[in-house]
Structure 1
């Protein structure tokens, strides 16, 4: 397969191939070869130097790019403008009606789970301030559900409610009273609240153990169908770990079945979902056009996951006003995967050492020393990054390129370290591996961008702070890495890839694969606790809100994508179902 013409356009004219080159794409590192690896002969550059390269056998994209490019903002905004405005005013009025604290908390919860929280930030903030300042009634009641809902919503919004709120539901032995095991609503609320715990909070840990055990022990045939659905949904994944767009789609269906539903609220949720989805359709169409024009959809050595990458970015920041973030971050995530697959799939160790030097120096002088394919991919990365930097200078007045260069350099240093381990037969400990793998997973570059591409109050001080990788970014990337390794380890090891977290732990301890999986899941839960605290501690600069949410949402996207296997690497059924419901299929209005 020849290098796509659009990719050769990234090359200086003096080093473009004068004729189509042979078979340019394949898979990595020739020094240490897996017995099952398949080889192809590939022309590296214009001199047609032959190098044997492994193939990852990545599945092709499941999306027809003709279909994706044809998508448009087909939900007529003008047709519904007046109705949406009227419905929003009606819902605002609901915040001011007389209701007790529990009813007010339930209303806020419904608004958020329907995906409408961003429309009513002021109303929600004012309501929660009032509730936080007057929590005696809830805190002194014996209602486990009410206490759990209070704890979850206040912590979600930055109020560090003490874990002692649950102490009155416990006995003298430090465990929850067994009488509550029959309170299904209370158990469900306690379970959801427990995911907002912090490190060292033993009461919240016990809440998770107690609620998990008794919810799993329930005979769902003996409880009402709607309760059973909520329990199954929660045990599958808690609210705190779910991407909002997917939760909104599911919750609309469930809320529509409630007898006490508010029709105007449900109608607004459906209209808003479709209007936002229409914007997302247009964006992903633009991104597909960019990807095809780049010619990257023709490359076979790397994963072609343009639509999946866009959906990750949409999960991070879905609000309609952030088109620039989603489009530019989709480009960055595609570059991450492209360069990752060069290190993991295409390049020899010598080529990767040279590529790393170019990226660290951020210099295209003597770029012709790189093989043609690697050269073109590096220039795509270089130009894309500089394009995003130019947009930020123009729109925000501050140059982010030095910060982006550093993150790319750190990422590629992590890649090359893994390549050296692989080629030299080194088996790192889990700690050695994770210290490096948090950088190599690619989360840092998109989280850095989530600050300067969303805030309208960009400052050098804020950018300096984010560039030092605060705890929020580190935890989010660590969760991404752990979830990725849980889902991809068996597949990638079968392809002869690097060791992953599971294998490192098994090598180090002699543990079984099942025990290793449980240990990695434990690390995920512990890292979520650290990230929960980081959200309290990191809201330091104006305009940080979208950045903090993006950090949480990147971790949520990894929980969603990786739960049932390697949905990024393999692009199988579950991801396609998620994407169809979130991006392509409108919610029926009737």
Structure 2
């Protein structure tokens, strides 16, 4: 599907194509015959009630008292010396290992276990050796791992390296079916593919999946349970798509790290570091819980999602390292305020009220609050204060004035919400292309990453620099597209049930006259293609590596949150379990 990247709003008054989304259907029980455009306030006057929609979101599942009671025995004061000694040993391993096949496994273990941020210089040095390595004759496992690690680092290597494992017809050799380690690494490497590599990459994936699935069905040996766990995890979610923090927990819990003496040292370091970083995350959630209570949204905007802790999962997924505490806290606040505004536009506000809110955002002026209804005032002031405080923090910490960039992100976001609201109140059903032109902004990822970049001091943030990573060819664009499609796939059933404006799934159903399954398959295909585009912009592009990594992590977080449905709207299941692992339960050292 080709998607134009210009943001434009086209409002049509054509009749609705499906009655369940038609304005008449929404109000037929009240005996009203609305025109194509209807004002909720007019309807309210007619029937004598205030027709405010509700998504019936459940209350928060996180008791503030429980959050404040979180404690841990893992502190840097008590365990800092042991952490430093373990880091010295791992650093020595990295510097002294010259066998590339062993070095590749060492780098992979360090990265997957979440401690690579301690060894940036050592890993840079190791990649100097790895990048000059020619894997010919090294075996499938080493070759595939080499391919994946270099591409993850943003270095281009050709898929031709797999030719030695193919026959004269270009098919992978069947004798490789018994090489489980090689098949697993080949499978994982296939998710680092780019556009134009479909034949090689898809063939590698199909071949490895075929034999890995056969292994899971036929080999039930107790002595290979570790390999079965690894294969099961990979087939569920490939490594390239997993959030780093959850993967660290999973890797420590379920996998053996490396070989020989290195294994126990890295495992102890990863476990101790995980618990120490968790102690920082606990303190951040405690601080945010107080902020959220004082903000007053829970009482004043009771129709909105009360999801501060879940929103922290977004922030932790995007940037988890302990040194970025300020960015993580601020990003969580941004997402909390964004969520409330999203709910106002999505389910609660009348069109006149929403128009007034956007005008107030454009003015960015305290006096603008006078023109808003009471329930909007607190939300507008929270956004206004947050934006100005963020700009102040950036000026203080980095000496750069960014208030216009902050204001523009809120304005861009609210205008995208307004576009969807206009569609809803007119009964207009956008085409899939038209929807996606607006929806990659309305998902909120663009604003989240821009705010994070500002807080990290990545300047200048202006129209030119934004185009490099968020235009139609930038990593942030493709990351937002995947994030939006993940959101839509996870939330579509609930949104259809309450009659929201058609999102991507039901837009495909309506305009292409296909079943829900076919529409979901189409969305999945677009996501897979977007992953290739995202990989390509990172591997071949000139974008800042930090921006690329933030975009990639946001995409991974979205896939995780919406893997089993709406992980924010309904957060009792896997979202709660993951947050428990991330901020509540430490890993046993023994």
Global fold match (TM > 0.5): yes
1:491-570 residue pairs with structure 2 within 5 A?
A: 491-540=494-543, 544-570=544-570
2:26 matched residue in structure 1? 33
Partners of 1:31 and 1:350 in 2: how far apart?
19
Show CA shifts across 1:547-578 (max 9, x none).
Answer: 32211100000111111111011112100000
Contact 1:30 1:53 in 2 (8 A): no
Indicate the SS of the match to 2:456.
Answer: coil
Indicate the SS of the match to 1:460.
Answer: coil
Q: Which of the residues 190, 200, 204 maps onto 2:201?
A: 204
2:177 matched residue in structure 1? 181
Contact 1:31 1:423 in 2 (8 A): no
Alignment partner of 1:575 is 2:579: no
Shift of 1:396: 0.8
Shift of 1:50: 6.4
Show CA shifts across 1:82-107 (max 9, x none).
Answer: 11111110111111334521111001
Superposition RMSD in Å = 2.4
Shift of 1:35: 7.7
Distance 1:513 1:175, change over 3 A: farther
Contact 1:392 1:453 in 2 (8 A): yes
Shift of 1:290: 0.1
Indicate the SS of the match to 2:26.
Answer: coil
2:60 matched residue in structure 1? 61
Partners of 2:77 and 2:358 in 1: how far apart?
50
Distance 1:553 1:112, change over 3 A: same
1:79 matched residue in structure 2? 78
Contact 2:257 2:267 in 1 (8 A): no
2:425 matched residue in structure 1? 423
1:438 matched residue in structure 2? 440
1:193-342 residue pairs with structure 2 within 5 A?
A: 193-202=189-198, 203-220=200-217, 222=219, 224-256=224-256, 260=260, 262-298=263-299, 299-342=301-344
Shift of 1:34: 7.0
Partners of 1:252 and 1:373 in 2: how far apart?
47
Gaps in structure 2 of 5+ consecutive residues: 1-21, 31-39, 42-47
Contact 1:30 1:52 in 2 (8 A): no
Q: TM-score, normalised by structure 1?
A: 0.88
Partners of 1:327 and 1:254 in 2: how far apart?
30
Partners of 2:462 and 2:367 in 1: how far apart?
32
1:46 matched residue in structure 2? none
Partners of 2:27 and 2:327 in 1: how far apart?
39
Contact 2:154 2:540 in 1 (8 A): no
Shift of 1:463: 7.8
Show CA shifts across 1:374-413 (max 9, x none).
Answer: 1221111111111111110111111222112222222111
Contact 1:343 1:419 in 2 (8 A): yes
Partners of 1:383 and 1:330 in 2: how far apart?
15
Q: Which runs of 4+ in 1 moved over 6 A?
A: 29-32, 34-37
Gaps in structure 1 of 5+ consecutive residues: 1-28, 43-48
1:451-462 residue pairs with structure 2 within 5 A?
A: 451-455=453-457, 458-460=458-460
2:3 matched residue in structure 1? none
More deviation, 278-287/202-211: 202-211
Shift of 1:362: 2.2
Indicate the SS of the match to 1:343.
Answer: helix
Q: TM-score, normalised by structure 2?
A: 0.88
Partners of 1:310 and 1:30 in 2: how far apart?
36
Shift of 1:530: 1.0
Indicate the SS of the match to 1:63.
Answer: coil
2:157 matched residue in structure 1? 161
Partners of 2:329 and 2:449 in 1: how far apart?
14
Contact 1:75 1:274 in 2 (8 A): yes
Indicate the SS of the match to 2:52.
Answer: strand
More deviation, 199-208/148-157: 199-208
Contact 1:72 1:285 in 2 (8 A): no
Partners of 2:54 and 2:561 in 1: how far apart?
24
More deviation, 354-363/486-495: 354-363
Pairs aligned (count): 545
Distance 1:372 1:461, change over 3 A: closer
Contact 1:487 1:562 in 2 (8 A): yes
Show CA shifts across 1:264-310 (max 9, x none).
Answer: 21111111001100001000110111000111223321111100111
Distance 1:433 1:111, change over 3 A: same
Show CA shifts across 1:396-438 (max 9, x none).
Answer: 1112221122222221111111111111121211111111100
